[in-house]
Structure 1
Amino acid sequence: MDKNTLIMSFGKWVSPINIQKLSELVKEQKQDYYTKKFTTESYIKFLLFAQLHEYESLEEISDALLDEDLQKILGFESISTSQLSRKNNNINPLILSHMFLDLVWKIQHYHMKSEKRMPLKIIDSSTLPLNLTNYQWAKFRQTKAGVKLHLRLVFMDKNAVYPEKAVITTAKEHDRNQLEVLVDDKEAMYVFDRGYVDYERFDRMTDEGYFFVSRLKKNAVIREVHSFSISDDCPVQSDKRVYIGSIQNRTENVFRLLEVKDTKGNFLRLITNRFDLSAEEISDIYRSRWAIELFFKWLKQHVEIKHFYRMSETAIQNQIFLALITYCLNVLIQLEMKSCKSLLRITRWLKRAIWKPSYTWTRKFDERSSPLKNLVVVTLG
């Protein structure tokens, strides 16, 4: 990345991308053979610019090159939609996946400085609907098509979250099939919903030393072993040791079952293999699951994953990873500046100052700062 790019706000924003690692991946994947101007690096910069501005089509992205500053950054004055389409279809998603994970590692580095407690890792998926006529390869119902983003989100507190691992499949892939892929850290507490309930896997996770809390299905059969006493002022209705399942399909381990009320007054049954925490702590841990719902909402509202540029599986995976990279770049500038400003506001400032010197953008972080100026947070909206 040249010096002129780096002094601009756009250059400051994309500077966490490791260009050396990117070049090594490009060479390893033989990605830029016979490429004269539209290299993988310029493709990534261009598509991140498009994600930032939420462009809905390759035509709109191509037209953006009327901007002379963008021409200087990319090194060419025009690109056709057909060239954009070919590049989008030819870039190996593995390259963008590695870029995403490298940015995640940098986010983790910030949190490792201040956080010592066991992190919560929330697992869930979101289905992105597609037109069956154009996306036959993604068919999952008689009249529907779609892809599914399986995600692991790290929850430090209500204002500090970031995506850590992502798997993209067709929508027909069941959530339970991805649980073992997304659970790989014994130093974390996992939180997921009832779509991931699997008695055999719960036993295996417990035997292998993984901790979790999940919502249990209403029709789950339980056999009570012991009931703990609950104080009158406790929001938890009951706290028991139980076996889950019928005689034919029952867990080998004893689990902890809690009954709690949600904000609407409905009863929820929570299952966990943590016995060292209070009932209130387990209930609060499960409530943190809302953060991943907000994250998916943020993605769908503030980057471009509702309108896919092209119809191939490769193109769709690339677009989703670019959206995740965009989010991570926003998080990293927020962490670097130790700002309490929301990601949405930070993005608005960046758009306004994108070709101006980076200090024009970053000095906004200090304006009208709150007494919590030195608190590192990551807000979603």
Structure 2
Amino acid sequence: MSHQNTVFHQLLKPILRRDFERLAHQHHQGQKLRKATRWDQFVAILMSQLSCRQSLRDIESNLESQQEKLYHLGAKRIARSTLARINEEQPACLYQQLFGQLLKKCETSKTTHKFRFKNPLYSLDASHIDLSLSLCGWAKVHESKASIKLTVGLNHSNTIPEFVALGDGIENDMVQGRALKFPSGSIVAFDKGYIDYQWFSEMTNHNISFVTRLRPKTVYRVKSQSNVLSCKGILADEHIELSSDYAKKRGAPKLLRRVEFYDADKKRTFEFLSNNFHLSASTIAAIYKDRWKVELFLRQLSKI
């Protein structure tokens, strides 16, 4: 068996065929499929996605040349017209349920993140996914472009997007971001695009810690200061109160934490804002730095 075929087998290994067929039976509409099955559709889409096929004709040609691999995977070649009809007529919720099952398997065998604390750690970010304007007129953002916005809450323990939401391509990041229900006791890192004082209070009330960047010109009052370890790049560790009228109107938490950190590698100073007062200042800075994982994930996703 070729190396490429082995790769496909490894990808399909966590998926039990009987579980897939049960889901396929639950999420089926209309008459019985005669020329192809949902498994044929799934294998065709998976192989085409991994080999970066660009059209139905391209998919059909690729499957024609991979018939031996299809045989070993328990699937058969599917014509482009049949694949197009199944994609259009059969509900996509089959794959939503399949993803949920795979996620549960990953959760039962997940590792831990690199930090000493036991709290679940997530990174939150969003990215645009460009679509064909001629095929997806509903996603039109301006005269020559169509797109949707993918919001991801990435679990640092297994690098899996545990929280995912799709939204309008022109809506604010906060619309989908604040709709994600992170578990109590977790820590969430995100950039300045998600700063919302009312949301900060909601997370604090639900025992969810956050780490983000402090916006320039933020008005605050220093309530107390802690001793810092300059050898670790920490320039300041303060308890602050957001004192602007806007912050008070939005119901910002009464007390937050400001950590100022100098990154020797980038030769830049960063100001972090958090509602966590238990972790060290250097850990707060390291949590935000580790947020690059979700950016890397979205970057790789955009290349598919």
The one-letter amino acid paired with 1:95 is L
Taking the aligned partners of 1:247 and 1:88, their CA distance within structure 2 comes to 52
- TM-aligned CA deviation for residue 146 of structure 1: 0.8
Letter in 2 for 1:192: F
The residue correspondences of 1:93-108 to structure 2 (distance < 5 A) are: 93-108=92-107
Name the structure 2 match of 1:259.
Answer: 260
Q: Please provide the CA RMSD for this pair.
A: 2.6
1:33 alignment counterpart: 31
* Deviations 1:205-255, CA, capped at 9 Å, x for gaps: 101111111122223322222222323323122111112252243214311
Alignment of 1:161-176 (within 5 A): 161-176=159-174
Question: In structure 2, what is the Cα distance between the partners aligned to 1:258 and 1:60?
Answer: 53
The equivalent of 2:137 in structure 1 is 136
CA distance in 1, matches of 2:214, 2:203: 16
Q: Which residue of 2 aligns with 1:122?
A: 123
C-alpha offsets along residues 258-287 of structure 1, whole Å, 9 cap, x if unaligned?
Answer: 122344333322111111111101000110
CA distance in structure 2 between the aligned counterparts of 1:234 and 1:75, rounded to whole angstroms: 56
Give a deviation string over 1:12-38, Cα, whole Å, max 9, x none.
430211434433333333346331132
C-alpha displacement of 1:298? 2.2
Aligned to 1:228: 226
**Alignment partner of 1:271: what SS?**
strand
* Identity between Structure 1 and Structure 2 (%): 26
AA at the equivalent of 1:254: L
Deviation (angstroms), 1:76: 4.0
TM-score of the two chains, using structure 1 as the length reference: 0.69
Unaligned runs of 5+ in 1: 305-381
Task: Name the counterpart of 1:290.
Answer: 292
Provide the C-alpha distance between the structure 2 equivalents of 1:236 and 1:93, rounded to a whole number of angstroms. 49
Q: What residue in structure 2 maps to residue 151 of structure 1?
A: 152
Three-state SS of the structure 1 residue aligned to 2:118 is: coil
2:108 maps to 109
How much has 1:292 moved relative to structure 2?
A: 1.1
Secondary structure of the residue that 1:181 maps to in structure 2?
coil
Partners of 2:267 and 2:177 lie apart in 1 by 29
User: Is the contact made by 2:43 and 2:75 (CA closer than 8 Å) also made in structure 1?
Assistant: no
Q: Supply the distance in 2 between the matched residues of 1:114 and 1:131 (Cα, whole angstroms).
A: 38
4+ runs deviating over 6 angstroms: 113-116
1:323 maps to which residue? none
AA aligned to 1:40 is: R
Aligned 8 A contact 2:28 2:91 in 1: no
Quote the residue 2:270 is aligned against. 268
Between stretches 140-149 and 45-54, larger displacement belongs to 140-149
Match of 1:42 among 33, 40, 43: 40
- For 1:164, the aligned partner's letter is E
Report how many aligned residue pairs link the two structures: 292
- For 1:187-206, what per-residue CA distance to the aligned partner results, in whole angstroms no more than 9, with x for missing partners? 32111111111100101110
